[in-house]
Amino acid sequence: MASLMRQSCLSAFRAPLATRNAAGVSQVVAFHASAKKQILPPEPQSIHGTLNDPAPIPTPHPSHGSYHWTFERAVAVGLIPLTIAPFAAGSLNPTTDAILCSLIILHSHVGFQASIIDYFPARRVPKTASFLNWLLRGFTLTTAVGLYELETNDVGLTETVKRIWKA
């Protein structure tokens, strides 16, 4: 009786993960992580050096690491007052609008570039990473040209947002 009780209690926990077919063999559900259904192939397995060799230290570069992180945060924090000021003060200053557009473009580019680096590492899928980086550069340039046209030949970004908000 106790083993039947324990088996029924455990089956309640196993039910979402595995099911049994007619032959009684356990089958894994479709979205379970397994080695058979990997999206990217495994990296090549190679050993460089011996176990006693120290880990290689990359050469320091100012655009990586803490400087890069600080720059990203400074741009993100700089967007806060530039987003609120034109709507709170009610003034339409083209210089403030241009700085806001520049920071939006920079913030978006850095964010999408970080996503590409995280999800498509160049050591694993070099052609895809290169293609996506060039695609990002193209979209960034197109966005910059579009916002420049909006700023110089139309009413500007903040006035456009005000008009859309009131529509």
Q: Would you say the C-alpha torsion 20, 21, 24, 27 has a positive or negative sign?
A: negative
Q: Provide the CATH topology of domain 90-166.
A: 3 helical TM bundles of succinate and fumarate reductases (1.20.1300)
SS3 98: helix
> What is the domain partition of the chain in residue ranges?
90-166
pTM equals 0.65
SS3 20: strand
Model confidence at 163: pLDDT above 50: yes
| Token pair 């700085």: residue | 99
Q: pLDDT tens across 38-71, in order?
A: 566 666 677 777 778 887 777 877 667 777 888 8
Query: CA 29 to CA 108: how far, in whole Å?
Result: 37
107 is in an annotated binding site: yes
pLDDT at position 17, please? 47
Q: Kindly report the number of other CB atoms within 10 A of residue 121's CB atom.
A: 14
148 is in an annotated binding site: no
H or E element in which residue 130 lies: helix 126-153
